[in-house]
Amino acid sequence: MAILLFAFLASVLALLYAAIQSFFVLREKDGNEKMQSIAKAIREGSNAFIKREYKTVFVLAFVIAVIVALVLPHGLVLALGFAIGAIGSALAGYIGMMVSVRANVKVAKKAEKGMHEAFRLAFKGGSVTGFAIVGFALVSLTLFYYAFGNPDLMFGFMFGASLISLFARVGGGIYTKGADVGADLVGKVGLNLPEDDPRNPAVIADNVGDNVGDCAGMGADLYETYVVTIISAMALAFALNLGQAFIVLPLAIGGMAAIATLIGTFFVKLSKNKTYIMGALYKGLVATTLISIIGFYFLTYYMMHSLALFYASIMGLVVMAVMVIVTEYYTGSKAKAVRKIAESSNAGAGVTIISGLGYALRSSFIPMLVIIAVILSSYYAVGGSLSLNNFGLGVYGIAITAVSMLSVAGMILSIDAFGPITDNAGGIAEMSNLPKSVRDITDPLDAVGNTTKAVTKTYAIGSAAIASLSLFAAYKANLTDMLGSLFIQQFQIFNPLVLAGLFVGATLPFLFTSFLTNSVGVAADGIVQEVKRQVKEIKGLLTGKARPLYGRCVDIVTVISLKNLVLPGLIAVLVPLAVGFILGPLALGGLLLGVILSGFALAFLMTISGAAWDNAKKYIELGNYGGKGSDAHKAAVVGDTVGDALKDTAGPAINPLIKVENTVSLLFLALIVMYHLL
Amino acid sequence: MAILLFAFLASVLALLYAAIQSFFVLREKDGNEKMQSIAKAIREGSNAFIKREYKTVFVLAFVIAVIVALVLPHGLVLALGFAIGAIGSALAGYIGMMVSVRANVKVAKKAEKGMHEAFRLAFKGGSVTGFAIVGFALVSLTLFYYAFGNPDLMFGFMFGASLISLFARVGGGIYTKGADVGADLVGKVGLNLPEDDPRNPAVIADNVGDNVGDCAGMGADLYETYVVTIISAMALAFALNLGQAFIVLPLAIGGMAAIATLIGTFFVKLSKNKTYIMGALYKGLVATTLISIIGFYFLTYYMMHSLALFYASIMGLVVMAVMVIVTEYYTGSKAKAVRKIAESSNAGAGVTIISGLGYALRSSFIPMLVIIAVILSSYYAVGGSLSLNNFGLGVYGIAITAVSMLSVAGMILSIDAFGPITDNAGGIAEMSNLPKSVRDITDPLDAVGNTTKAVTKTYAIGSAAIASLSLFAAYKANLTDMLGSLFIQQFQIFNPLVLAGLFVGATLPFLFTSFLTNSVGVAADGIVQEVKRQVKEIKGLLTGKARPLYGRCVDIVTVISLKNLVLPGLIAVLVPLAVGFILGPLALGGLLLGVILSGFALAFLMTISGAAWDNAKKYIELGNYGGKGSDAHKAAVVGDTVGDALKDTAGPAINPLIKVENTVSLLFLALIVMYHLL
The pLDDT confidence band at residue A224, using thresholds 50, 70 and 90, is very high
Residue A188 has pLDDT above 90, yes or no: no
Asked if the Cβ–Cβ distance from B353 to A642 is below 8 Å, we say: yes
Each residue's pLDDT tens digit, A400-430: 999 999 999 999 999 888 888 888 888 888 8
Query: pLDDT higher for B103 or B1?
Result: B103
Task: Search chain B and give the residue with CA nearest A492.
Answer: B492
Residues of B in contact with A528 (CB under 8 A): 347
Number of helices (H) and strands (E), helices first, in chain B? 23, 0
For residue A124, give how far its alpha carbon lies from the nearest alpha carbon of chain B (Å). 36
The pLDDT confidence band at residue B8, using thresholds 50, 70 and 90, is very high
Task: Determine the pLDDT at residue B24.
Answer: 92
Asked if the Cβ–Cβ distance from B368 to A504 is below 8 Å, we say: yes
pTM above 0.80, yes or no: yes
Residues of A in contact with B368 (CB under 8 A): 503-504, 507
For residues A546 and A540, the answer to whether their CB atoms sit within 8 Å is: yes
Alpha-carbon distances of A543 from A205, A528, A533, A535, rounded to whole Å: 20, 19, 16, 10
The H-assigned helical ranges of B305-364 are 307-331, 336-344, 349-362
Of residues A188, A476, A507, nearest to B494 (C-beta): A476
- % of chain B residues with pLDDT over 90: 50
Least confident of A178-192, A382-396, B550-564: A382-396
Mean of the pLDDT values across residues B230-251? 91
Residues of A in contact with B646 (CB under 8 A): 357
d(CA B515, CA A577): 38
Task: Determine the pLDDT at residue B490.
Answer: 85
Each residue's pLDDT tens digit, B497-531: 999 999 999 999 999 999 999 999 889 888 888 88
Task: Determine the pLDDT at residue B551.
Answer: 84
Asked if the Cβ–Cβ distance from A351 to B518 is below 8 Å, we say: no
| SS3 assignment, position A73 | coil
Each residue's pLDDT tens digit, A335-355: 999 999 999 998 889 999 999
Task: Determine the pLDDT at residue B665.
Answer: 95
For residues A420 and A210, the answer to whether their CB atoms sit within 8 Å is: yes
Of residues B476, B494, B638, nearest to A638 (C-beta): B638
Asked if the Cβ–Cβ distance from A590 to B493 is below 8 Å, we say: yes
Mean of the pLDDT values across residues B279-304? 91
Task: Determine the pLDDT at residue B502.
Answer: 96
Q: Phi then psi for B199, rounded to 5 degrees?
A: -80, -15
Residue A558 has pLDDT above 80, yes or no: yes
Of residues A181, A361, A492, nearest to B492 (C-beta): A492
Which has the closest alpha carbon to A119: A517, A549, A464, A414?
A414
Task: Determine the pLDDT at residue A388.
Answer: 42
For residue A128, give how far its alpha carbon lies from the nearest alpha carbon of chain B (Å). 35
Q: Report the complex ipTM.
A: 0.93
Which segment, A396-410, A498-512, B319-333, is predicted with the most confidence on average? Answer: A498-512
Each residue's pLDDT tens digit, B413-462: 998 888 888 888 888 888 888 888 888 888 888 878 777 888 888 899 99
Task: Search chain A and give the residue with CA nearest B593.
Answer: A493
Task: Determine the pLDDT at residue A186.
Answer: 76
For residue A394, give how far its alpha carbon lies from the nearest alpha carbon of chain B (Å). 9
Task: Determine the pLDDT at residue A659.
Answer: 93
A492: β partners: B492
For residues B634 and B349, the answer to whether their CB atoms sit within 8 Å is: yes
Residue B273 has pLDDT above 90, yes or no: no
For residue A507, give how far its alpha carbon lies from the nearest alpha carbon of chain B (Å). 6
Mutate to test the interface with A, among B362, B475, B493, B649 (most CBs of A within 10 A): B493
For residue B361, give how far its alpha carbon lies from the nearest alpha carbon of chain A (Å). 5
Q: What is the mean pLDDT of chain A?
A: 89
3-state DSSP helix/strand/coil % of chain B, to nearest 5: 85, 0, 15
DSSP letter for B539, please: T
Residue A455 has pLDDT above 90, yes or no: no
Each residue's pLDDT tens digit, B197-214: 778 888 888 888 888 888
3-state DSSP helix/strand/coil % of chain A, to nearest 5: 85, 0, 15
d(CA A449, CA A330): 16
For B192, counting Cβ atoms within 10 Å of its Cβ (0-12 exposed, 13-18 middle, 19+ buried), the class is: exposed
The pLDDT confidence band at residue A189, using thresholds 50, 70 and 90, is low
For residues A212 and A44, the answer to whether their CB atoms sit within 8 Å is: no
Each residue's pLDDT tens digit, A253-297: 999 999 999 999 999 888 776 667 888 888 999 999 999 999 999
Task: Determine the pLDDT at residue B276.
Answer: 78
Asked if the Cβ–Cβ distance from A518 to B491 is below 8 Å, we say: no
Each residue's pLDDT tens digit, A44-53: 888 888 888 8
Task: Search chain B and give the residue with CA nearest A183.
Answer: B347
Residues of B in contact with A514 (CB under 8 A): 358-362
Least confident of A388-397, A650-659, B603-612: A388-397
Mean of the pLDDT values across residues A303-313? 86
The pLDDT confidence band at residue A632, using thresholds 50, 70 and 90, is very high
Residue A191 has pLDDT above 80, yes or no: no
Task: Determine the pLDDT at residue B76.
Answer: 92
For residues A422 and A445, the answer to whether their CB atoms sit within 8 Å is: yes
